[in-house]
Each structure stands twice: as C-alpha cells, then as structure tokens.
Structure 1
Amino acid sequence: MGTVDDALAELPEPGRSCLQHIVAMARSVAPEATDGVSYGMPALKLDGKPLMGVAAAARHLSIFPFSPAVVEAVAGSLDGYSLSKGTIRFTAEQPLPDEVVEEIVRRRMAEIRP
C-alpha cells in the first residue's frame, strides 16, 4: 500500500469506498502516477507534480485537481455540486460521475505534460 491507500484506509465508510473508487479511476487513467502528499493531503503525483488530491471533511468529500482551469473546464458537468477555484465537493450519496473524474485527470495530465 502507498501513502494514498494508507490515508484512505483510515476513513470511515461510506466515504472511504467513494474516495478509493475515485483514486482507482485516476490511477487507471494515469497508471504512472505515484503516491504522495501535497498541501497536507494524500495525492497522486505525475512527474513530481500534484495530479489530484483527495480529502474527507465532516460533511463532504473533496477532490483537488490543483488547477482552477480544470475545475472551470468541468464545472458545466457538475450542476448540484459545490465548487470553488481549486476544489470539487461531493458526498458518497451523490458521488462524482466517473466520466467527470476521468476528464479531470486527463485535463490535469495535459497541464503537467503539455
């Protein structure tokens, strides 16, 4: 297990499974991504740069694409979700659509590897 898996293993259900699914999808799109920590949260990294971070709060789950441009690019597909410049918030009861997670990872990869 790596840093991300270890951190997620500590979370209660159903948030743990939801974030594990998102990380697994990100790894399938970016199999060369490595585990790490960025801004104090478990994150996948690509070429040493943060690709996507995940976190759980008391009332929501979050992914951090580390890019306001990526959040803005997928915002139209996320009606009903809470967005800020660098964060997408959701719940296990209303998880992010798989295709949006894949698009987030692809867009962030394109920023890291133009």
Structure 2
Amino acid sequence: MSVIDEYIRTCPESIRATLQLLKNIISQEAPGAIEKISYGMPTFYLKENLVHFAAAKRHIGFYPTPSGVTVFKSELGAYKHSKGAIQFPLDKPLPEDLIRRIVGFRVREVVEKHLQGRE
C-alpha cells in the first residue's frame, strides 16, 4: 500500500472513492511521478512537487502550483480557487477532464524546466 493509499484509507469512507479517483487520474497523467506525503498532503513528485491534494470537510483541495491555476483560470469559474489551489466541492463530480489537462500541463512544464536546466 502506498503512502497515498494509506492517507485515503484514513479519510471518511464517504469521500474515499472520490480521492481514489483523483489519485488514479493523476497517476495516469503522470506515470513516472513518485507518490509521497509532503506538507501533510498526498503529493506527486517528478523532479519537484508536481501536484498535491487533500481532503477537507466540504471539498477536496487540489494544489497544482500557481502556474497550474493561472493557465486554466478561465475554466475555474465554477470552483473556489486562489493562487495555487482549487477547491472541488464534495457534492459535485470531479471535473476529470480539467484535472487531466492541469496535471498534463504540470508534467510538461516540469519536464521542460528540467531539460533546460532551470532547476
């Protein structure tokens, strides 16, 4: 069992399936990423922190770094968001396509950054 699976296991049963879906989406879009816990949150790491997520009382926090929010800001109108965070309400389905595109963007951004030596 991975550290992220363990995190999900400790969350309320009512949100575990949603958290598992989010984890699966991220894993599919970032297959080379390492799973870890950072800042107390499930984190996918690819040469640097790629994205984080966390369970809250009424939402799932998704943290794709400020660039991941900025690039997709025009599509985030339905969600509370800030500089580096997006809140997905628990009473609505996850926006799977949007999450896939954000994670894909972050993977490309990180790979390009490290290929160019801007570590």
- Given the two structures, how large is their TM-score scaled by the length of structure 1? 0.89
Root-mean-square deviation (CA, aligned residues, Å) is 1.3
Matches within 5 A, 1:1-114: 1-47=1-47, 49-65=48-64, 67-114=65-112
- Higher normalized helix content (fraction of residues): 2
Q: Distance in 1 between matches of 2:59 and 2:69?
A: 17
Give how far 1:46 is off: 1.1
Structure 2: 5+ residue stretches without partners:
113-119
- Given the two structures, how large is their TM-score scaled by the length of structure 2? 0.86
Q: Residue by residue, what CA displacement relative to the aligned partner does 1:7-38 show, whole Å, maximum 9, x if unpaired?
A: 01111133221121011011011111111122
Q: Percent identity?
A: 35
Give how far 1:95 is off: 3.2
Q: Based on CA coordinates, which of the two structures has the bigger radius of gyration?
A: 2
Contact 2:54-2:60 within 8 A present in 1 as well = yes
Contact 1:51-1:108 within 8 A present in 2 as well = yes
Runs of 4+ in 1 over 6 A off after TM superposition: none
Q: What amino acid does structure 2 have at the position aligned with 1:108?
A: R
Structure 1: 5+ residue stretches without partners:
none
